[in-house]
Structure 1
């Protein structure tokens, strides 16, 4: 009898265990203490008030910090969204939103972020930074420009697909070698972001994978920029798995994007 009760207790505990992919939403109010002498640095933010990509965030944060170092820039990695204030953001040239999900900014923090972009600050937003857990109008209009509607599931969740470069002369696409057929979790959106003012740099050939009828877009951008923003804004839907960040093409795109958004070089 006691053994049966113990088993039941273990099962109940297991069922009640929190899902690490769905952390409790927290709004940060106390800003972190920054290292001294940060200037024109790279801010890497992986705050998650929505789905947390526990598989790739630790590795991709390290890769992004290494990229900043290779560009000759200091970086600071945090999950404290209270860093989005005017005084601290002035230490950075570019904010990398590494699968930062959910509405993780308070209204005051979002206003500080908007001012950062308005005075020329760059944004590199990756993967879940463009999913539908973001609902704030300024964010969706400025950073994403469209609405995430899903990705293939079950056995089709991760597929190789052919990436087509639409803007081969753009500095972000410099050095990308073709053909390129990475394996990823391919996001679909309710509309082509170019219809809402974005400029697509790359798209997916839908004939090269199985999106499913409900997720087909026809013209299916996967990497784009916002030419209307005063700061340089870049979004890439790629990057679900840790291995994505070691792919030579994607690593090069990320380095180019950070360099371009931060205005660090030619």
Structure 2
């Protein structure tokens, strides 16, 4: 009996160590141990041919969406080819300077996480938006719990991310398309099945934004600490000063950017923003 007990404890210890190593590896893989980096020297912009100029910014100083980020980059390369856009992709936060941002007709933050800008760079983005810029924020961009820059969740996103369900992290739900008159959603059915890491926020931003898509959180078993109740928006647009913001909390998984209807949503949202 003692030998069996020792053997059991031995294998249990090995299993726990293996689990701990795996968890640590995953945290490293998704850059949760990353020391924040802040660039001071901006990238050199190439001569961009084409019509509209689009900046695709994918910097992370926190959790990195290692599958979604390249999927979005690939998608926007296709959009640029299709519509003759001049596309510049960078993770250099120093691109956020007034003279550089003003060269772009649309800024896309592709699953940007953590505080990624210096105070000067923050002010440049804020001024750009207040003066009439267009901004597309994708998934993780609105999913920061610990922003040191209160203007971003309060004004640019319009609400504060508080978390998402875990164990399981991804769950099935049904999207409700509330506004099918918008260019970005007119192609969608009234509802759409979706598999997602469902974001929750400290409050519904409905009073300050135009909600396009929401979800019935009763369908995917939300923990009490994350419940928003009967009003749970996920995709919306709004004004920031003279600027326009379009935010989608959808798209943690790379597969989202292979869904034809969601690809069209992002394409049409970009076209709509370029016309603002």
2:47 maps to which of 18, 36, 43: 36
Cα distance in 2 for partners of 1:175, 1:16 equals 43
The separation in 2 between residues aligned to 1:44 and 1:223, in whole angstroms, is: 19
Aligned to 2:153: 140
In the alignment, which residue of structure 2 is the partner of 1:149? Answer: 162
Higher alpha-carbon Rg: 2
Runs of 4+ in 1 over 3 A off after TM superposition: 13-18, 37-40
User: 1:117-162: per-residue Cα shift (whole Å, max 9, x none)?
Assistant: 122211000111012233312212222111111111012x111211
5+ long unaligned stretches in structure 2: 1-17
Equivalent residue number for residue 97 of structure 2:
85
Please name the residue that 1:217 is paired with.
Answer: 228
The separation in 2 between residues aligned to 1:111 and 1:68, in whole angstroms, is 28
Residues 15 and 175 of structure 1, relative CA distance in 2, 3 Å threshold: closer
Question: Do the aligned residues in 2 keep the contact of 1:101 with 1:133 (CA within 8 Å)?
Answer: no
Aligned residue number for residue 28 of structure 2 = 19
Q: How does 1:113-132 map to 2 (within 5 A)?
A: 113-131=125-143, 132=145
Tell me, in whole angstroms, the C-alpha distance in 2 between the residues paired with 1:14 and 1:151: 22
Q: Distance in 2 between matches of 1:261 and 1:178?
A: 23
SS at match of 1:193: coil
Matches within 5 A, 1:40-119: 40-119=52-131
Greater relative contact order structure (CA < 8 Å, 6+ sep): 1
- Deviation of 1:64 (Å): 2.0
Judge conservation of contact 1:40–1:91 (CA < 8 Å) in 2.
no
- SS of 2:88's partner is strand
Matched residues in 1 for 2:200 and 2:23: separation?
A: 32
Where do 5+ consecutive residues of structure 1 fail to align?
1-10
**Once superposed, what is the RMSD of the aligned Cα atoms?**
2.2
How far the C-alpha of 1:183 sits from its partner, in A, is 0.7
Q: TM-score, normalization: structure 1?
A: 0.88
- The CA distance in 1 between the partners of 2:36 and 2:182, in whole Å, is 37
Aligned length: 252
